[in-house]
Each structure stands twice: as C-alpha cells, then as structure tokens.
Amino acid sequence: MNTHPTSSRRKFLMQSNCAAVGSASLFSTLFSLQMTAGATAGGSVSGYKALVCLFLSGGNDSFNMLAPKDAAAYSEYAAVRTTLALPQGDLLPITSTGQPYADFGIHHHLPFLQNLYNAGNLAFVANVGTLIEPTSLAQYNAGTTSVPIGLFSHADEQVHWQTLVPQIRGAGPKGWGGRMADCMTQANLNSSVGMNISLSGNNVFQVGSSSNPYTTTPSGPVLLADYQDPLLTTAIDSILGPHYKNLYHKTLASSGRNAIDTALAFDAAVGGLSTTETFANLQELVSGSWVYNGKQTQLDKRLQMISKVMAARTTLGMDRQIFFVNRGGWDHHNEVILSQEDRFNEVNDAIADFWAELGHMGLQNDVVLFTASDFGRTLTSNGQGSDHAWGGNAFMLGGNVNGGQIYGQYPVLARGGALDLGRGRLLPTTSVDEYSAELATWFGVPSAELSTVFPNSGNFFDPLATPYPLGMLGP
C-alpha cells in the first residue's frame, strides 16, 4: 500500500494549502494577472521606463522634511512649530529659485536627498495636495468651491491620492496608475505580468478598469505550496487541465493555470538575481541583502526586489513598469521628532542603495521614484506631535528630473497666514493632478489621454498644451 502522505488525490484536495486552488488564496492570485485591456492604445513606449511610487502612509510631517533656512522665514517657522521646530543649524542647506526666498533646509537625517538635490537629480514640490478645483481661503471658508470628501481622514485621503477623484468617497474610482496601464496597452504585449507591480499587497493606485497589479513580496512571488512535488503537480494539473463545459469552471481553471505559470515564470526570472552595489560604506552586502547596522529594513527589502524585477525586465518582456511600495508609520500624533528621525534614516539609506543599484544597471535616467502621503500635518504642535492637515511637500528623483529646484509655491508658515485653515492646516496651492501629470507624460501617456487618467486635470492646466504643468520632468 502506498503510504506517501500526499498520494491520495482525495486527501490532497482536503489539505488547506492545496484546496487553495479553488479558494480565496488562489482567487487573490488570479487578480495579480495581467487582464486584457480594452482601452485605446496610445503613447510612446520606445526604450524602458519605470515609475516607483513610495507611499508614506499615515501623513508625513513634511514641513520638517523641507523647511525654510532663510532667517526671517525660519523665525516664522520656529514660532508656529514651537516644540516641533528643528534647530536652524541642523537643517541641511539647499537653495532654489522661483520661491519667496532662496535658502531652504532638508531634514538632517536625509543627507543623501541633499546630495541628489545638489546634483540635479531630485526636486521637491511644495504644498501639494488633493484638490478638485483651484480654491482660495476665502472660497473654502464660504463653501463656494468643491473640496475632497472626507478631508483630513486617513482612509479617504489615501484613496484620493491614489485615484485623484476626491469628489467620490471610497474605492469606487480606479487608481491613476491603473488608468495609465489601461491606456498604454501596446506596452508589455509579450508579458504575462501586468504593468503595475506591487511590493505592498493590494492597493487602489494600481487598479484600472481592465488592468490589475501583479503582487509579489520582497522575497519573490508566493508560490503554491509543494507544487514541485511530482504527485501534487500531477494532481493540480489534472484538475486544471480538462476542458470544462461550464463557463465559470473553464474560466477558473484557465486562470488558475495562468496564475501558477506566471508565478513560476516570475520566480525564474528574478529568483536567481542578486544586487551588487553598496553605498558610502554604510551598508554591507550580506548573502545578497542590503543591511544597515546589522538589520535589513523593510524599505530596503522592497526596493531591492524592485531592482531585481527591473534587471529581469527583458526576460519578463516588459518595457514599462510601475511599482508601488507602502511604508507606514507616519501618523505622528504623539511624538514627531524622534519618530521621524527613525523613518527618515530608513528612507535615506534605502534610497541611497537603490540609486547605487540603478547606477550599476545603467538605469538612473530610466527610473523616477516619487513620494506621496495621505496629507501634510498641522504646523502647530499638540504637545509633542502634530495632527491631520492638508497641503504638504513631496519629492521625485531620477536622472531625467529637472532637479535642484522646489516647484509649486512654498507657503508662508506664519500662524494665520493666507493659506492657514486653522492650527496651521495649509490649503494646497499645487494639485496632485499637476504633480502626477508630469510623471504620466514622462512615462509615455499621450497628452490626449491625460484628461482620462486625471479627470480633474482640466481645472488646473490644459493637458493638450501643457502636459508638463510644473516643469519637473518636461523640456
């Protein structure tokens, strides 16, 4: 009698890890596959380009990430921030034209961002936020313009940043990363992996009407347990292989087969790759992993896997890729200074490694990493922390970024200023639509499709005439 624990097909079907073929586990995997897009193809896909969205969920206190160093402006900043103000001497100096003053400072735990900025490879956008239409303080107070639903709410504002349809609550609208994939169906035609790849699970940003993200982990794709066992392989293949007359059964079997094959192909493409770069002797390569102070950080792991997927782009048949990485822990109600230092250390070192790895692969001019967050935070202190607000600062980096500049309008930080809704909650002066359109246009979305990807864009700029409304990436 055969006593192999997996020899019985019936017993095998009862095991939880194998029953996933017809359960939620595999059903989730199915939605990681590239869907057949129905939107009109358009845009240039010559060469390779990739976008990396680094979402700082929780609401980054970004007026300590980028603060004034000008004497008069710093005095206003220190007066409104009180216990949250950074010492002027700690701020890493940078300069910018086109602002009310020239001298600014970057948080002292972000020295690599200062290096990239001074080298012209990183730019900031100031006081950016979700808007439906241009809004003044007087209009906001009078209620004469539309404002995002659920303003100051984590759940709502995270979705609004990712859909750019803030007049609708919830996850009903598709994400603008997904809409980009929908209108660029001529890219990656020979790949079974979708244009959007998430290192942080499911997200709204990458879901389109006809496209869905491929989800992987920092260690690679999640493969069906023990599928390499010949007996299990035979059992699974016998379930997925027959021709089913029932359309649902046929579709499920076909999708299951594709899910397994795609995961195996993805694993084969990236599994044997290792990163090779170190940066400034701060980090060591240990068994193919970046580490800092003996511990590899969460963000390091995710950016390292992204670099591997980029290295496998030819094998995977991909000339356009959009990556999503979520790093939480920015909701600093109780304490800002020390908590933000810890997070900025991680961001600084992970970006340094990632940039070095892009240089090793010759891809620094082909990749743009950009940040997003729920919202900015109050300029005023609640004691040791700050609370939910609206406008904030973000940055993008890459070899094609018109760096060394602050774009948008850096606001007056004095209490009761022209943009202060109260408690230092600043009304945004640059819409996320303008910021994101720069990325989409550079990526290859044609200007005729910008109003589809960004439904409110026409309220802020002419998508046909000015597809680079801020000039961060444009000519």
DSSP string, 230-281: HHHHHHHHHHHSS--SSHHHHHHHHHHHHHHHHHHHHHHHHTT-------TT
**Strand order of the sheet with strand 103-106?**
66-68, 103-106, 92-95
Residue 35 lies in a domain: no
Pairing mode of beta strands 320-327, 92-95: unpaired
Output the CA angle 308-309-310, nearest 5 degrees.
90
Looking at the structure, do residues 261 and 287 belong to the same domain, yes or no? Answer: no
Q: Supply 347's token pair.
A: 């961001």
Q: How many CB atoms lie within 10 A of CB 138?
A: 10
Residue 465 lies in a domain: no
Residue 296, pLDDT score: 82
Residue 475 lies in a domain: no
What SS3 class is residue 388?
strand
Looking at the structure, do residues 145 and 14 belong to the same domain, yes or no? Answer: no
Looking at the structure, do residues 117 and 83 belong to the same domain, yes or no? Answer: yes
Q: Are 396 and 346 in contact (CB under 8 A)?
A: no
Burial-class residue 80 by CB neighbours within 10 Å (0-12, 13-18, 19+): buried
Residue 192, pLDDT score: 77
Looking at the structure, do residues 404 and 437 belong to the same domain, yes or no? Answer: yes
Q: Which residues pair with 291 in a beta bridge?
A: 284
Looking at the structure, do residues 116 and 202 belong to the same domain, yes or no? Answer: yes
Helix (H) or strand (E) holding 71: helix 71-81
Burial-class residue 291 by CB neighbours within 10 Å (0-12, 13-18, 19+): middle
Q: Are 439 and 402 in contact (CB under 8 A)?
A: no
> Distance between CA 441 and CA 139 in Å, rounded?
31
**Residue 90 CA: distances (Å) to CA of 54, 64, 85, 103, 202:** 25, 11, 11, 14, 38
Output the CA angle 292-297-300, nearest 5 degrees.
90
Helix (H) or strand (E) holding 46: none
**Residue 72 CA: distances (Å) to CA of 68, 90, 105, 294, 449:** 9, 17, 14, 42, 44
Looking at the structure, do residues 429 and 344 belong to the same domain, yes or no? Answer: yes
Residue 458, pLDDT score: 98
Per-residue pLDDT of the chain (475 residues; tens, 9 = 90+): 334 333 344 443 334 333 333 333 333 333 333 333 333 344 447 899 999 999 999 999 999 999 999 999 999 999 999 999 999 999 999 999 999 999 999 999 999 999 999 999 999 999 999 999 999 999 999 999 999 999 999 999 999 999 999 999 876 789 999 999 999 988 988 877 889 999 999 999 999 998 888 889 998 876 555 556 565 556 545 655 666 566 555 455 444 445 555 566 677 778 767 665 443 333 444 344 445 455 689 999 999 999 999 999 999 999 999 999 999 999 999 999 999 999 999 999 999 999 999 999 999 999 999 999 999 999 999 999 999 999 999 999 999 999 999 999 999 999 999 999 999 999 999 999 999 999 999 999 999 999 999 999 999 999 999 999 999 998 8
Looking at the structure, do residues 95 and 128 belong to the same domain, yes or no? Answer: yes
> Distance between CA 175 and CA 117 in Å, rounded?
29
Residue 43 lies in a domain: no
Residue 395 lies in a domain: yes
Looking at the structure, do residues 385 and 422 belong to the same domain, yes or no? Answer: yes
Residue 132 lies in a domain: yes
CATH number at 372 reads: 3.40.720
Residue 253, pLDDT score: 45
What SS3 class is residue 197?
strand
> Distance between CA 159 and CA 161 in Å, rounded?
5
Choose one of 211, 245, 270: the last residue of a domain: 270
Looking at the structure, do residues 361 and 390 belong to the same domain, yes or no? Answer: yes
Residue 473 lies in a domain: no
Cα 34 vs. chain centroid, distance in angstroms? Answer: 19
Looking at the structure, do residues 258 and 165 belong to the same domain, yes or no? Answer: no
Q: How many CB atoms lie within 10 A of CB 45?
A: 17
Q: Supply 352's token pair.
A: 């340094």
Domain residue limits at 321: 49-220+275-459
Looking at the structure, do residues 294 and 235 belong to the same domain, yes or no? Answer: no
Residue 468 lies in a domain: no
> Distance between CA 471 and CA 467 in Å, rounded?
9
Looking at the structure, do residues 264 and 160 belong to the same domain, yes or no? Answer: no
How many domains does the chain fold into? 2
What radius of gyration do the chain's Cα atoms show?
24
pTM check: above 0.75: yes
